[in-house]
C-alpha cells in the first residue's frame, strides 16, 4: 500500500507537464483562422474557384438563405461557379473569431457587403451577416466546415397573401 503513496508527490509535476504539452496557443490559432478566412475572400474576389476550394473541408456545408443545404466540395464548386459572376465582389469585417480550447474548432461572425449579378443580369449589392465554422483537417490545416449567411433585407413573402 505504501508504493502508490510514493507517487503522490509527483502527481502535480506530471499534471503540469501534461497540461503544458497539450496547451493550445489560442492567439496563433485565431490568427490562422483569420488568414484562411481572408484567403477565401481573396479567392472569391479573384473568381478563383479552386483557390477557394483549397480552404474548404471535403464534407463542408453551405447553408444559403432560402435554399437547401449545399454539401461537399463538388456541390460547392457548382454553387461557386454560379455565384462568381464578373460583378462578384465581397467585403467583410470580422466581428468575432472564437477558437475552441482544444484548438480544433473555431467560428467567425461578420457583416458583409456582396455585389453579384442579379436575376435581370444587372449588378445587385446585398448587405448581411454570416457565421462560419472552421475545423482542422488531418494535416492540421484550418478548413471551412459550415458557412451560413443571410441578407439584412426583409425576406420576400413566398406564396402571396394568405
Q: Does residue 11 fall inside a structural domain?
A: no
Domain count, the chain: 1
Report residue 88 as a C-alpha cell.
462578384
Residue 76 inside a domain? The answer is yes
Per the domain annotation, does 15 fall within a domain? no
- Does residue 98 form part of some domain? yes
Whether 26 shows a pLDDT value over 80: the answer reads yes
The three-class DSSP label of residue 149 is strand
Under a CB-based contact definition with an 8 Å cutoff, are residues 55 and 143 in contact?
yes
CATH code of the domain containing 47: 3.10.450.50
- The pLDDT tens digits for 68-106 are 999 999 999 999 998 888 889 999 999 999 999 999 999
Please write the tens of the pLDDT for every residue from 107-131.
Answer: 999 999 999 888 888 888 999 999 9
The reply to whether 44 falls in a domain is: yes
- The whole-chain average pLDDT of the chain stands at 86
Within a domain: 13: no
User: What domain range is 126 assigned to?
Assistant: 24-151
Going by the DSSP 8-state scheme, the letter that residue 94 receives in this structure is: E
Burial of 108 (0-12, 13-18, 19+ CB in 10 A): buried
Amino acid at each position: 500500500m505504501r508504493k502508490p503513496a510514493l507517487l503522490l508527490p509527483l502527481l502535480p509535476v506530471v499534471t503540469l507537464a501534461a497540461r503544458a504539452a497539450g496547451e493550445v496557443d489560442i492567439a496563433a490559432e485565431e490568427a490562422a483562422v483569420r488568414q484562411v478566412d481572408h484567403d477565401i475572400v481573396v479567392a472569391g474576389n479573384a473568381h478563383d474557384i479552386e483557390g477557394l476550394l483549397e480552404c474548404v473541408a471535403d464534407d463542408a456545408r453551405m447553408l444559403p438563405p432560402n435554399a437547401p443545404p449545399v454539401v461537399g466540395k463538388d456541390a460547392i464548386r457548382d454553387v461557386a461557379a454560379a455565384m462568381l459572376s464578373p460583378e462578384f465582389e465581397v467585403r467583410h469585417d470580422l466581428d468575432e473569431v472564437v477558437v475552441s480550447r482544444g484548438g480544433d474548432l473555431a467560428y467567425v461572425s461578420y457583416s458583409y457587403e456582396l455585389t453579384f449579378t442579379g436575376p435581370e443580369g444587372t449588378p445587385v449589392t446585398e448587405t448581411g451577416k454570416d457565421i462560419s465554422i472552421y475545423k482542422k483537417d488531418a494535416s492540421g490545416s484550418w478548413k471551412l466546415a459550415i458557412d451560413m449567411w443571410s441578407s439584412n433585407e426583409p425576406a420576400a413573402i413566398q406564396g402571396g397573401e394568405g
